[in-house]
Structures are given as structure tokens and as C-alpha cells.
Amino acid sequence: MWFIFPIIFRLHSSSAFSLYFLSLESGKQRKKMRTAMLRSIRASVQRSSRSYSSESAPARKVAVLGAAGGIGQPLALLMKLNPLVSSLSLYDIAGTPGVAADVSHINTRSEVVGYMGEENLGKALEGADVVIIPAGVPRKPGMTRDDLFNINAGIVKGLCTAIAKYCPHALVNMISNPVNSTVPIASEVFKKAGTYDEKRLFGVTTLDVVRAKTFYAGKAKVPVAGVNVPVVGGHAGVTILPLFSQATPQANGLSDEEIVALTKRTQDGGTEVVEAKAGKGSATLSMAYAGAIFADACLKGLNGVPDVIECSFVQSNITELPFFASKVRLGKNGVEEVLGLGSLSDFEKQGLEALMPELKSSIEKGIKFANQ
């Protein structure tokens, strides 16, 4: 833009001076805007981990298994931005060196190493504090639950066998679907290896919570940043039960019909994305975000931050089922406390009763697969 000023001077010197100073002022404003934007981005990245600076936070290694996939790549990026992570280990059967090289150029605390191929899985896992598992195939149009299960269950079983050997004390965050079955598979693999600790195995159901918050905020016309909605049950279809009666802030103006519609949309959120992508993908970006949120909560718990509470699918005795998603208090040992369901509306009580048979079947299917 600077080349225009000689011309303006020849046309009208007083106008030129005015435009010159306006341009300077505009440049200052743009600089201020850029500075403010950078500060905002950095603040948003570090907000959930504000209890520690990178210098004071303990060294923590996070391993992402399936890091070259549709969920794994954005998840790797988000974990690289987390100041609580000092070592980021990225593993997949192919493509990992490129992902690791790309992410490693980001100027944040963690050192990044990529590992490719089953022969390097042990190295990827050694010393890990948190292991996140998004490995597996995504759900595609026309794919049955059995199709998805048969592929991903085998992948999860193999990865968990390695976790039991190389980092038996790590917190394991299971993203691979169907979570209602893959978490029980992992538990059985760990039991066989003699390393099972129910406090350290989590099914990541955070995406259900993220969706419930977003949909509720939109319908209730409240700022989404201040919304909280617990989601209980499982992580598939009817087993997903958002407790909108416990949502905060409470929107008294929502009708029963609107609550039913919000519940249905939360349950069908994955299908909504699959259909919108026209068979070319599933919920990868929002799932990566949800996975990063839950991993951050686990890291804060490990580091001693008090009152870290998230919903997760864990071993539980709050129902007759061995696994159930509910609010969980996280701490230095993983699960510090599995919190109860609280007061339910009549509609939620019906939903709870309806989800139990399907969730029970999915859990039993996972246990049976692991013991074959």
C-alpha cells in the first residue's frame, strides 16, 4: 500500500497527509487486533490447564494410538497445544512420521516422536501417563454395528495387550467405537495380564456432553460457555441419556417436546455428521476436541488439581450393570469417585429403563469377544 502515497501527494497534499495518518492509525489498529487475537488463541488453548505453567507442570507423557487417522491427527494437534504435556508419542500402523514431523514444528512445550508399525508400539507406550485410543475404522453409511465391532474390537484387543505390557499404570482413554463394548474388552485384556485397575480405564463419552451443551444452549438461547449438561448411560444411540433436567443454567421455558427433541438429537449426533459428510467421513473434528478435553481433565487430576469432574463410561456400581457412564471425579489415581445419577425427571427415568437392555448386551458382547 505504501506505493500509492507519492501519487496522492501530487494530487492533493493535504488529503495525502490525512490519508497518510489514517493509514498509520489503521496499521496500529490492525497490529492491536492481531496482538489481541494471538492472546485470545493462547488463552483459549491454555484456559483448561491454567493451574500450571509449562515450567511448573510435572513431566507427563501422552501417547495417541491411531494418530494418523481422521480423529488422531486433530487430536495430536490439540494435545501438542496442551501445556501439561511434556512428551507426545504418536503411533499408527502407517503415516505417523509425517504427522509427527508436522505437529513437532509447533512452538509449544512437548517433544513429539512418531512411531510407525507394530514393532514400534512398545517404544511408543513406554513411560506413558495417559494413553488415548482413537484407532480403528470410522462408521460409514450402511455399516452395521457388527461390522464396526468385528474390526475395531480386534484392534483394541491388540493395543490393550501392549498397554498391559509396556505402561500398565497409564490412564487409558478409549475412543474407539463401539465404546460400550471396547471398554469391557480392554478390562478383560488387562485382567488376563494381571494389570487391571478399574480406576484407570475410561470410555470417552465427552462428545455426547459437548453435543448436549451445544444443542441445549442453542435452544435455551443461553451462552454455551456457561452451560453444563451431564450425560449418562453409554455411548451409542438410545444408550446416550442427557440429563437436561440437571442442566445449568436451567431454562424453564423449554417444553417437554423440546426436551424430547434435544435428547433425540444428542443420541443421533453421530448419524447427523455421517449423513452431512455424505458417506465420506464421520465425527472426527468434534471427537478430537472432546478427546482432548477429557485427556486434559485426566492430566489435571494426575497433577492434583481438585474437583475435576467429567462424565465417562467406567466400571460402576450405581446401576446393576458393570460399566456405566456418569459424572466421575478425577484425581491422582484416575477415578477418585463415581458420582450418582442425582434426581431424574420422569422422561429420564423412562430413558434409563429403556437403555439398560441394549447397554447390557453391548457390554456382554465385548466381554465375550475378549475371552474367545
CB 66 within 8 A of CB 133: yes
- The three cell numbers locating residue 35: 496482538
CB 57 within 8 A of CB 82: no
Spatial separation of the C-alpha atoms in residues 351 and 304, rounded to whole Å: 35
SS3 call for 132: strand
Give whole-number Cα distances, 52 to 47, 84, 86, 178, 304, in Å.
10, 7, 12, 34, 11
Catalytic, out of 12, 105, 169, 235 = 235
Q: State yes or no: is 169 an active-site residue.
A: no
- The three cell numbers locating residue 54: 509449562
SS3 call for 291: helix
Spatial separation of the C-alpha atoms in residues 24 and 55, rounded to whole Å: 39
CB 233 within 8 A of CB 321: no
- The three cell numbers locating residue 360: 447390557
- The three cell numbers locating residue 129: 501417563
In angstroms and rounded to an integer, the radius of gyration of the C-alpha atoms of the chain is: 24
Give whole-number Cα distances, 245 to 55, 199, 225, 249, in Å.
42, 28, 18, 10
Dihedral of the alpha carbons of 131, 132, 134, 135, in degrees to the nearest 10: -10
Single-letter residue type at 322: P
Spatial separation of the C-alpha atoms in residues 79 and 65, rounded to whole Å: 13
* Active-site residue set: 235
